[in-house]
Structures are given as structure tokens and as C-alpha cells.
Amino acid sequence: MAIREGRWDCTFCGATGILGRHTTCTGCGRSRPEGVKFYLVENEAEVTDQKLLKLAEADADWICQYCDSSNRASQTSCQHCSAPRDADTPTQLITEYEEDQAPAYGDNTRPEPVVKAQPKPKSKWKPLLGCLGAVVVVLLLLCGVMSYISFKTYEVELTVTGVAWERTIPIEAYRTVEEGDWAIPAGGRELASEQKIHHYDEVVDHYETKTREVCEDKQVGTETYTCGKIDKGNGFFADKQCTRPVYREECHHETYQDPVYRDEPVYQTWYTYEIEKWVLDRTEKASGQDHDAYWPEYTLAENERVGQRTEKYEVYFVDQGGQPYSESFEYERWLTYQAEGRYLAYVDFFGEVTEIEPGG
């Protein structure tokens, strides 16, 4: 346990850095008062002198209650007024400090903190960030090029080569149909039932014995280390000693039971039933390659109804280079495109028509 000599400052005359071995000020001769602040200067050397070590090994100084003089623990009477030491005589405090927490200045020494310029550490991420930045720039350029290409259009003149249309009317019938499900809906009549696999549950089928290595830290002893400083109250500081456990990794093999699972089918009742509902019976269709579009004729029976009608109108074009195009339009606009008519259009990089002027 290393011993280092502390310092103290005289609050009477302002002297600083008085060695801990002196119980009186080397400047004015006043005794160090009760509660004096001992401090340890930076890089203070370890005490090796036997006389100083003997002083350091003593208990804390005691303070004379008659003249307030500071005395060594070995002294039974005051060195200034010769008053005897009583049982309740006050002593300087013994204080324990954590590592790097011991005072480095006294009552009169409070230096301004010096902030040293620290070189800016080189970031280990800088090269990576540089590469990532380059990648981002390249990607942005590619995105810009693709956006430009995607939105860039070209004017072309298209000539109508033909038109086509198709109109459909679905006819639904209210019939009795046979269906199957896990439950019978309202209005359904059960025809048959059976047990079928509804889903699978994962269950343990058996266990397999396996071996694995298990490692853990086990305490094999303790070690002593310096964890701070102790102000001994006599002008000296001693290293504060702490103990901590020492661990060693120990490994061994152990067997264990590893579960093996299987899919266990879960059965539920599957119902076959009949029920009345609207179903598609047929689709009436009309189509042509002219502008004379019409809806197909139909006749409904008592149990039939018309479903959702559909209609589709297309115009076929060709550009000056012979490239064919086809576009779908609403009925009213579709009527404006006449055979052999020429119309200005805009085509993108991928050959898709983005806009075409309506027919006159």
C-alpha cells in the first residue's frame, strides 16, 4: 500500500503547498486548524523515507481544545500549551476517496482549469462514409437519368387503322346450388357432413438426446487493487485497497433432450349443403369493328335478372414507321376517331402512348 505526502494551505497568511509533515505553517508559524483541507498534488512520489512513513502510519492529528493547535497522534500533550489530551479531544477527519477523486488543490490554491486542445480524432467511419456518399451520388444520378427518360416524351403522328367494340350483359339466375363449407349459412340445407382436416397443430413427437458445450465464468479467487485514496488526517495519503473476484471460464459438455415436432391434423366437420342464390347463367355479348355499337338482345325468365354490364372501346393506330398502337377510350371520345384519320400523340421512352389528341 503506497503512501504519499499531502499538502495543505495556511488560511492565516495565505501560504500554499505546505508539506503534510509540518503541523505548523512554514510561513507564519500558526498551527494548521481543525478541518484543514489536505490535498494531493499531481504525480506526487511515493514516500520511502522511514521517518516519514512512521509519521504516516500514525492516526489522525488531534486538536487541542485550549489553543486549537494541531498535534500528532503520538503526542499526549499539546506541543504549544502543554495541555493534556482528553478522551473527547477532536481529531482531523479521515476521508476515503474513489480513484481520481482525491483533492488536487487546497484552501488557497484554486487554479483555473486549463483546457488542452485535443486533436480531432480520425473517424474510423470516414472512409466508409466517403464510399457510401459516392454510392448515394451515383444512385441519385441514375435516378435522375431514369426519371428524365421516364418523363421524356416524343411527338409522333398516328393514323387510325381500325376500331373495335364489345358490350356484354351477364344474365343471372336464382337457383338451388350445392356448396360446401365449415358452417352452413342462413338458408342452407344440409345434405351431408364428414370429418376433414381443418388445420395442423405442431406437437412434440419425441425427444432426441444431444450433447452441447456449456461455458460459464466461475470465481477462482480474489485480487487486491488500488481503488482510491485515503486522507489519513495527518498530512499523508494512503492507497485505498479493494478486492474483487477473479473469474475463469470453465466449459463442460452436457446432454439434453431436444424436442422433435410433428404436424398433428385437427379435424372439423365439413358440410355439404344446398342453398338458393343468384348465380351467373350466361353472358350475352355483342361486338364489332365499326362505330355501330349496340347492346345485345336478351330475354329473361321468371327466375333471372340482369347483372353488371360491361363495355370496351378500342382504337388501333400505326405511326409513320409502321409501329402499331392500341388505346382504349370512353364511348363518346371513341366515336371521334375515324378511319384513316391522323392524330398527334406523345410516346415515352418505353413506347407507351402518354397522350393523344381527341378526334375532330
- Give the pLDDT confidence score for residue 148 in this predicted structure: 52
**12 near 24, Cβ under 8 Å?**
no
- Give the pLDDT confidence score for residue 141 in this predicted structure: 74
> What number of CA atoms fall less than 13 Å from residue 305's CA on the CB side?
7
| One-letter identity of residue 42 | E
Alpha carbon distance 18, 29 (integer Å): 11
Contacts 24+ apart (CB under 8 A), 21-29: 21/52, 21/55, 21/235, 22/235, 23/61, 23/69, 23/70, 23/71, 23/72, 23/79, 23/235, 24/70
Could you say which residues of the chain have pLDDT below 70?
Answer: 110-131, 133, 143-152, 359-360
Ranges of each domain in the chain:
1-113, 158-170+283-356, 174-225+242-274
Alpha carbon distance 264, 48 (integer Å): 81
Torsion sign, CA atoms 249, 253, 257, 258: positive
**Cα 204–208–211 angle (5° rounding)?**
135
Alpha carbon distance 85, 69 (integer Å): 11
**62 near 85, Cβ under 8 Å?**
yes
Q: What is the DSSP letter of 52?
A: H
Residues in contact with 81: Cβ distance below 8 Å, sequence separation at least 6, in sequence order? 64, 66, 67, 69
Helices then strands, counting H and E runs in the chain, come out as 3, 14
**13 near 45, Cβ under 8 Å?**
no
For the entire predicted model, the pTM comes to 0.48
> What number of CA atoms fall less than 13 Å from residue 15's CA on the CB side?
17
